[in-house]
Amino acid sequence: MQTVLVRVSGPDQLGISAELFDVLSGMEAVVHDVEQIVVRRRLTLDVLIEVEEGDDVLKDLLLFGFKRNLQINVEEVEDEPTEYSQQFVVTLIGEELSPAELREATVAIANGNGNIDRIVRLSRYPVMSYELAVNGGDITEIRKNLLNVASVLPKMDVAIQPLNLSRRAKRLVILDVDSTLIQDEVIDLLAAQAGCEREVSEITDLAMQGKIDFAEALLERVLLLKGLDELAIERAWHELTLTPGARTFCRTLGRLGFTTAIVSGGFSIFTDRLQRELGIQHGRANHLEVVNGRLTGELTSPIVDRRAKADFLKEIADIEGVPIEQTVAIGDGANDLDMLSEAGLGIAFNAKPIVRDAANTSLRVPYLDAVLFLLGVSREEIEAADSLDFD
């Protein structure tokens, strides 16, 4: 017996695969592996077969190629199967991905002794994204190389994940709200209605400098909102702006069967409405006390801080029966760090440098639905789902 790799290439046509396998069946070939890809209506189809020694492998295949205007290459190869070591997937995302950027990413993989087995385009818009299946090499070295590349190429984001069942079985996504699901900071929207923007901003700055802690800063800012009425809150709600791609992201996750949750250091008067509007199953945020239609300047619940966000992730994972390694957390601020580190995949979304440095994956593109590409969902799959009637 001899092992032969057959490569068929040329213009894609209806029925090529069926006719090729008919030819191989007539040769009584044993098929060991098949891989096919079509790019711009150009087909490449590889079939690894085993046939009897001395068979005229080329004759029937060349006749098939001649009839179909296809190029046929036949190569005898070793009959030992390829030995695969650790496998992982690298995702490249950017507004545009130039040849120079692709070169730097692939060189980083090669320098870590990784071999690229397959490259698949996931999207052309709103960003370009590619998924590279990598075999072998030192994942720690490759990750370091890729992160170095991303640091000097600010228009390209890079993510690296083990290619295993855990990566394919993500089932729960939890999002921060302010500057993640939405583009705003809710406290600033309310402060604008209360006429205390400057005071709120000064307290926020002190908290960011570490001069006061998160809980103290939140309570001081909430006190400044005392007396704000429900009409002003409604006006603030209408000022809120969703992050581009947020609706597509939440809708697609729902169709894929994901559980979704939001957690916020902001306020439930906003997050409750976001849950209903976006079909999000779980939510937690701070509760503002309202008496006679006005804010009292107090909270009626424990403060949702950095540790509380991580605890909420674990609580929802437990309720839904989802192993923690099958969870995804997305956030932008320091109070998201515990949540990002607890999740199976933590994504720093347009985050502060301290968060980008700590998270295992970072996205700098402004579209929330780009997270779907990190989960291996292509733009074509998103659009196909949108074309169906799920009502």
Residue 99 is assigned to a structural domain of this protein: yes
86 to each of 137, 138, 164, 165, 187, how far by Cα in Å? 8, 9, 10, 13, 46
Domain count, the chain: 3
Residue 228 is assigned to a structural domain of this protein: no
Asked if residue 37 and residue 145 are part of one domain, the reply reads: no
Share of the chain above pLDDT 90, in %: 71
- Which pLDDT band, with edges at 50, 70 and 90, does 54 fall under? low
Asked if residue 290 and residue 144 are part of one domain, the reply reads: no
| pLDDT higher than threshold 70 for residue 122 | yes
pTM recorded for the entire structure = 0.84
Residue 179 is assigned to a structural domain of this protein: yes
Question: For this structure, is 332 an active site residue?
Answer: no
The predicted pLDDT at position 37 comes to 86
Instruction: With CA atoms as reference, report the closest residue to 328 among 117, 173, 181.
Output: 173
| pLDDT higher than threshold 90 for residue 348 | yes
Pairing of strands 361-363, 345-349: parallel
Give residues with Cβ within 8 angstroms of 259, minimum separation 6. Answer: 171, 172, 173, 281, 282, 316, 320, 322
Residue 94 domain boundaries:
87-163
Query: Which amino acid is present at 276?
Result: R
- Which pLDDT band, with edges at 50, 70 and 90, does 85 fall under? low
Give residues with Cβ within 8 angstroms of 8, minimum separation 6. Answer: 16, 20, 43, 44, 45, 46, 47, 65, 70, 71, 72
Residue 218 is assigned to a structural domain of this protein: no
Asked if residue 348 and residue 287 are part of one domain, the reply reads: yes
The predicted pLDDT at position 389 comes to 56
The predicted pLDDT at position 204 comes to 85
Asked if residue 127 and residue 68 are part of one domain, the reply reads: no
Between residues 219 and 385, the one the model is more confident about: 219
Asked if residue 177 and residue 287 are part of one domain, the reply reads: yes
Asked if residue 179 and residue 119 are part of one domain, the reply reads: no
The alpha carbon dihedral of 361, 324, 122, 260 has a sign of negative
Residue 61 is assigned to a structural domain of this protein: yes
Catalytic residue from among 178, 184, 332, 369? 178
- Which pLDDT band, with edges at 50, 70 and 90, does 206 fall under? confident
Question: For this structure, is 176 an active site residue?
Answer: yes
For residue 146, what is the domain's CATH number? Answer: 3.30.70.260
Q: Quick one: average pLDDT of 365-382?
A: 93
Catalytic residue from among 157, 176, 332, 336? 176
Q: Quick one: average pLDDT of 150-164?
A: 88
In the numeric block, which tokens belong to residue 48?
Answer: 């690894």
For residue 330, what is the domain's CATH number? Answer: 3.40.50.1000
Q: Quick one: average pLDDT of 94-107?
A: 94
Residue 108 is assigned to a structural domain of this protein: yes
232 to each of 57, 191, 221, 256, 276, how far by Cα in Å? 79, 10, 16, 37, 21
